[in-house]
Amino acid sequence: SRKIIIDTDPGVDDALAIIMAANSPELEVLGLTTVFGNVSVEQATTNALILSDFASYDIPVYKGEAVPMTRTPAPYADFVHGDDGFGNINWPVSNKQAQNQSAVDFIIEQVRKHPGEITLVPLGPLTNIARVLEKAPDIAGLVKEVVLMGGAARHCGNVSPVAEANIMGDPHAADKVFTADWPVVMIGLDVTSQVLLKQDDMQKIADKNPQQGEFLRQACDFYIDFYQQTLGIAGCMVHDPSTIAYLLDPTLFEIEEGRIRVVTEGLAVGQTTLAPGHRHFPYPGWENLPQQKVCMKVRSQALLDLVTSRLSA
Ligand code: BDR
Ligand code: CA
């Protein structure tokens, strides 16, 4: 099975992604590393421990960065995910504790221990991942792949007309991650906004798999309500679980290659700028950047079926 480390700010859709990964025998989740984003890093760590208890095997939790590298922290997304990150359901906390090792040190240690084998799956702001590159530049050459949820290549943003929330959370970190010499797969709003999970789907999951599904159904209520109230759509976007779907079946997606940079200041801060790779002459200054993969289209129903089947198991 494929070894992954999930870097996360749980978060309702993070919860869906993590439980989906834990239920997938093709994947081995070595650890959850936490980061600020939807909630504080303290709350994210509390939540990751709750999620780790839903897995059938031991998944340790490592606390990560509390603030962005350079940018002033943005407010937490309590209006999307609730004050507790799980839609204000006040789920009982885990008896387990986070490990003493930091998220950054855990990632560096594991990647060196399993060279070429580990896939990083970031589901929040990219601060931990950029700190890893800063502290241990050799890591870029040792990671199998970075499959992240974030950005918007052609779709509009969700926290500004051009910026997606995870990238906006730490644009400097995101720019470091996209321009590092390692293979990145960007799964952003271009695809995640095309897949909606509805209240009915959650009810079916809860009926088939009450042990995990009842928690997920309750957590999704507030989140689905947010989409209804703010965007007038009946269902929540399947952001973070799309990364796990990609790991299980990349053929669900249509991919473009190109170089990606992130705007770190000004009106367009947080924008993921894609220079398409098929151009014969690269834009000046972009020649030496690595070509990354960007998911542009998705078979929505097939992705939804995969998500719901893994959550119902
Ligand atoms: C991303 O932002 C967070 O609110 C979600 O958990 C997801 O990772 C979507 O823009
Ligand atoms: Ca997230």
pLDDT tens track for 144-189: 999 999 999 999 999 999 999 999 999 999 999 999 999 999 999 9
* Least confident residue range of 5-9, 70-74, 121-125, 181-185: 70-74
Helix (H, G, I), strand (E, B), or coil: what is residue 271? strand
Stretch 189-212: mean pLDDT: 97
pLDDT confidence bin for 1, thresholds 50/70/90: very high
Q: Is the distance from CB of 4 to CB of 32 less than 8 angstroms?
A: no
3-class SS string, 292-312: EEEEEEECHHHHHHHHHHHHH
The 10 Å CB-count burial string (b at 16+, else e) for 274-309 is bbeeeeeeeeeeeeebebbbbbbebbeeebbebbbe
Which one of 9, 14, 201, 240 is the catalytic residue? 9
Gap between the Cα atoms of 15 and 84, Å rounded:
12
Ligand 1 atom closest to the Cα of residue 237 is 9
Residue 312 has what pLDDT?
98
Stretch 72-76: mean pLDDT: 91
Stretch 20-43: mean pLDDT: 98
Residue 280 has pLDDT above 90, yes or no: no
**Is 305 tagged catalytic?**
no
**Sequence-separated (6 or more) residues with CB below 8 Å from residue 266:** none
Number of residues written out for the chain: 313
The interaxial angle of helices 199-208 and 210-231, nearest 10 deg, is: 180
**Residue 9 CA, ligand 2 centroid: distance in Å:** 5
Express each pLDDT in 202-233 by its tens digit: 999 999 999 999 999 999 999 999 999 999 99
**Sequence-separated (6 or more) residues with CB below 8 Å from residue 220:** 12, 16, 87, 197, 199, 202, 236
Gap between the Cα atoms of 130 and 145, Å rounded:
15
* Least confident residue range of 16-30, 140-154, 245-259, 272-286: 272-286
pLDDT confidence bin for 277, thresholds 50/70/90: confident
Residue 282 has pLDDT above 80, yes or no: no
Atom 4 in ligand 1: which residue has the minimum CA distance? 38
Ligand 1 atom closest to the Cα of residue 81 is 4
Nearest one of 10, 19, 17, 5 to 240, comparing CA atoms: 17
Residue 309 has pLDDT above 80, yes or no: yes
Residue 9 has pLDDT above 90, yes or no: yes
Return the ligand number nearest the Cα of 166: 1
The pTM score is: 0.98
Ligand 1 atom closest to the Cα of residue 14 is 6
**Is 53 tagged catalytic?**
no
Percentage of the chain beyond pLDDT 70 is 100
Residue 37 has pLDDT above 80, yes or no: yes
How high does pLDDT run on average in the chain? Answer: 97
For residues 231, 232, 236 and 242, what is the CA-based torsion angle, rounded to 10 degrees?
-60
